[in-house]
Amino acid sequence: MADESVSKDHGRKRKSALAEMFAPVAGFGVSFSTMFRKVATEEYPEKPRPTQPRFHGRHQLNRHADGLEKCVGCELCAWACPADAILVEGADNDDTPLEQGGKGRFSPGERYGRVYQINYLRCIFCGLCIEACPTRALTMTNFYELADNDRGKLIFTKDQLLAPLHEGMLPPPFPMADGMEERDYYQGKVTGPTAAQRDHVAARDERVVVDESPLAHDEPGNIAASVPGEHDVVHTTAPTAAQTREGANP
């Protein structure tokens, strides 16, 4: 029995000695085990990684099928923003003829968003503004490359956030489609501009004078940029995904 006890003690001492000998390199076990694995490096910005379909990126102000803006200047998005990053100033649409000093119509209904700004230094991309919008005017794209070399240029203005005119759309201001009401627009009954709207825009453009244009309204631009409303650092105008998820859940 004594010999067996001595043998066990000798075995424990031997294991303890081995443990003490390899202790300094034991912490490198994870490093050694991963040294020969394939490295999964993302080659950004040469090969940007595609975002998820519901990614919360830069905002976009959408249009109706004829080109009128969906934003009605209600300011609900600004009230819902927990970071106080959104500034909206609404104004009344004016159906007075342009030759009589009218400013024109930019959206269906009574009002439109005359000023729209988002401060991306404050924005946390939570999507609460999207949920608060009653007209689905504001959605979020998959575009995320928002870095710049000037803090002032990260305050995006309406001209930067407004969706581009797709094929067939007309640039506002112009009257609503004949026989249509505001609710008809939001129910999708307007599928494109009418002949009367096209004629109105064509006649409007012929009357425009560069220095005394009745279409000019005092929307503040991006005062930090060399050209108001534009970036000195050029960003791509196309989101990283083709769909902006307009009409979908944020």
159 is in an annotated binding site: no
Residue 13: alpha-carbon gap to chain centroid: 66
The contacts of residue 202 (CB under 8 Å, 6+ apart) are none
The contacts of residue 13 (CB under 8 Å, 6+ apart) are none
Strands, sheet with 86-92, edge to edge from the N-terminal-most edge strand? 86-92, 111-119, 155-156
Nearest Cα to 214, choosing from 230, 229, 203?
A: 203
74 is in an annotated binding site: yes
45 is in an annotated binding site: no
94 is in an annotated binding site: no
222 is in an annotated binding site: no
126 is in an annotated binding site: yes
Q: Residue 45 burial (CB < 10 Å; 0-12/13-18/19+)?
A: exposed
71 is in an annotated binding site: yes
Would you list which residues are annotated within the binding site? Answer: 71, 74, 77, 81, 123, 126, 129, 133
Would you list which residues are annotated within the binding site for [4Fe-4S] cluster? Answer: 71, 74, 77, 81, 123, 126, 129, 133
